[in-house]
Amino acid sequence: MRLGVVILIVLSIVFGATFGALNSERIAFDLYFIEFSFPKGAALLAFLLLGWISGGLLVWLVRVRGLRRELRQCKRQLREAKAETAASSDLPVGNA
């Protein structure tokens, strides 16, 4: 497992370096007040990374926080059910 992750990381680095070298022409970004230029490969890889991070953040905000809230509710219900069970076990048992 660990070897597979290392190989995947090395291949990603090699792919990124090759992609950046083959797309070295510069493109300009004009944001009205400021203008800057990047190599095309670096800009594409940066925006790919930005999209990956924003997607992960969106998943965390929507799904993980909801699941944590649901887990807190389930724990609260479990505590209440245990308290009811303990209270009902204290009652005397009648003769049958």
Please report the pLDDT score of residue 95 as a whole number. Answer: 58
Q: From residue 59, how far is each of 12, 46, 67 by CA, in Å?
A: 24, 20, 11
Give this prediction's pTM: 0.54
Count of domains for the chain: 1
- Note whether residue 37 is domain-resident: yes
**Phi, psi of 93, deg, nearest 5:** -95, 130
Please name the residues in contact with 64: beta carbons below 8 A apart, sequence gap of 6 or more: none
Confidence at 90, pLDDT banded by 50, 70, 90: low
The tens digit of pLDDT for each residue in 11-68 reads 988 888 888 788 888 888 888 888 988 888 888 888 888 998 999 899 888 888 889 9
The answer to whether 41 and 20 are in contact (CB under 8 A) is yes
The domain in which residue 65 lies consists of 19-85
- Note whether residue 96 is domain-resident: no
- Note whether residue 31 is domain-resident: yes
- Note whether residue 61 is domain-resident: yes
- Note whether residue 63 is domain-resident: yes
H or E element in which residue 13 lies = helix 2-22
Please report the pLDDT score of residue 91 as a whole number. Answer: 62
Res. 5: pLDDT tops 70: yes
- Note whether residue 80 is domain-resident: yes
- Note whether residue 1 is domain-resident: no
